[in-house]
Amino acid sequence: MFALADANNFYASCETLFRPDLRGKPVVVVSNNDGCVIARSAEAKLLGIKMAAPLFQNERFFRQNGVHVFSSNYELYGDMSARMMAILGEMAAGQEVYSIDESFLDVTGISSLIPPETFGQQMRERIRRETGLIIGVGFGPTKTLAKLANHAAKKWTRTNGVVDLSDRTRQRKLLHLTDVGDIWGIGRRISLRLNQLGITTALQLADSNISMIRKNFDVIVERTTRELNGEPCLALEDAPPPKQQIVNSRSFGERITQLEDMQQAVVLYATRAAEKLREQNSRCRHVSVSVATARHGSEPQYSNTASCVCDYPTSDTRDIIASALRGLATIWRDGFRYARAGVMLSDFYQSGVAQFDMFSVQQPRANADALMAAMDVINRSGKGKVWFAGQGERDSSWQMKREMLSPRYTTRLKDIPGIK
């Protein structure tokens, strides 16, 4: 038996946790550089505000309707997510953190001790009491049915935020009410093809002939069909498989025209990519750097990518920065107004598996792993930050624009709310 716990309107909910004056009011969160709407409170949805709505086109509407707008506060969202996931992990035998606000849980055998719906309410109450967040919980014999149950728990208020699909009759009833395009793993393109075959509901897909599905679609759709019939095909991933590529890319708050500013941006992005590399205990040999002007407008356009191969697999930020800067030097061109840059790492090796060349001129730096580990511990501790001077000042004009950023209530001491 699986459960899926998912926070309601997660980003917007995080913003209102420490601002009780905003409860019941429309709140939206916008993307990097204050671009488009990426999260909405329930009140904002009732106003008809769409996902991906550009901020600059809707500022007047937001002011007229009292909509509170926030820049993306990833430090706050990441910390609140970690707190929520830690609690959920304590309440189940196994856990797969599926996204920043979703977690699959292994609750096999729970029904012999307590009704799943009662257990779901206990989960909701503990999360609400310890974090202030509201979650929906769905139970099902497969991950696809648990996902469907969670969707129903959030859609229909009469469920009180919990739906149990362990009963086949309830499964079929909900499948009949669900559009095939709303099924986890069925995208718009596949949904249109299914519609052409007369399959418009989840129940019709579940009742379809498996041979026909296999003939017309890929293994993913076949697996989804089997899961809708209660046949588990997707196991819980306690630890996600290591990524084969890591990319850190951003648009600038202001256009970059000077090489020094671009070097600072590339150093920052290389540093972030190296941190992610170490998080999954990997090393890389391939470092790519890219730069680009804006794709639209009347300004001269230019984009390019350069790649460097390291002499040995590395996770040392210093090596990755050096390779990225070498690549940047080969593609930089004066006279352009650059809008974005990025660093990509690839050709991964797991730490302790790679074979080093003892005859290579370049050898791994002494104590590199210990130094990087120490830096990571300090930077995650909340007690301070250690960074490379090449990143420049933190308030550089090219840094990502976040003009409506809320305080980092849970990760910065000076931002802790005071009681007056």
> Could you list the pLDDT tens digit for every one of the 420 residues in the chain?
999 999 999 999 999 999 999 999 999 999 888 889 999 999 999 999 999 999 999 999 999 999 999 999 988 999 999 999 999 999 998 999 999 999 999 999 988 999 999 999 999 999 999 999 999 999 999 999 999 999 999 999 899 999 999 999 999 999 999 999 999 989 889 999 999 999 999 999 999 999 999 999 888 899 999 999 999 998 888 666 778 889 998 888 889 999 999 999 999 999 999 999 999 889 999 999 999 998 877 889 999 999 998 888 999 999 999 999 999 999 999 999 999 999 999 988 887 655 555 555 566 677 888 998 998 888 877 555 777 877 777 666 677 777 888 988 887 778 887 766
DSSP class of residue 347 equals E
Beta-carbon count within 10 A of 367 CB: 10
Q: How far apart are CA 350 and CA 331, in angstroms?
A: 30
- Map residue 183 onto helix, strand or coil: coil
- Asked if residue 87 lies in contact with residue 52, where contact means CB atoms within 8 angstroms, the answer is no
Indicate the burial class of 247 (C-beta count within 10 angstroms; 0-12, 13-18, 19 or more): middle
Q: Give pLDDT, residue 384.
A: 57
Opening angle at CA 120, ends 117 and 126, nearest 5 = 145
Q: How far apart are CA 265 and CA 271, in angstroms?
A: 10
Tokens 């930089």 sit on residue: 332
Topology adopted by domain 9-73: MutS, DNA mismatch repair protein, domain I (3.40.1170)
Q: Give pLDDT, residue 382.
A: 59
Strands across the sheet with 162-164, in order? 94-99, 102-106, 2-7, 135-140, 162-164
- Asked if residue 188 lies in contact with residue 181, where contact means CB atoms within 8 angstroms, the answer is yes
Q: Give pLDDT, residue 191.
A: 92
Domain ranges of the chain: 9-73, 77-228, 246-391
Q: Give pLDDT, residue 390.
A: 79
Q: Give pLDDT, residue 380.
A: 78
Pick the CATH number of 77-228 from 3.40.50.2300, 3.10.105.10, 3.40.50.920, 3.30.70.270: 3.30.70.270
Predicted model pTM:
0.76
Note the Cα 266 to chain centre separation in Å.
22
DSSP class of residue 333 equals -
Q: Give pLDDT, residue 128.
A: 96
DSSP class of residue 142 equals S
Return the CATH number of the domain spanning residue range 246-391. Answer: 3.30.1490.100
Q: How far apart are CA 155 and CA 378, in angstroms?
A: 42
Q: Give pLDDT, residue 36.
A: 92
Q: Going by C-beta distance under 8 Å and a sequence separation of 6 or more, which residues neighbour residue 172?
A: 203, 206
Q: What is the residue-wise DSSP string for 15-64? A: HHHT-GGGTTS-EEEE-GGG-BEEEE-HHHHHTTPPTT-BHHHHHHHHHH
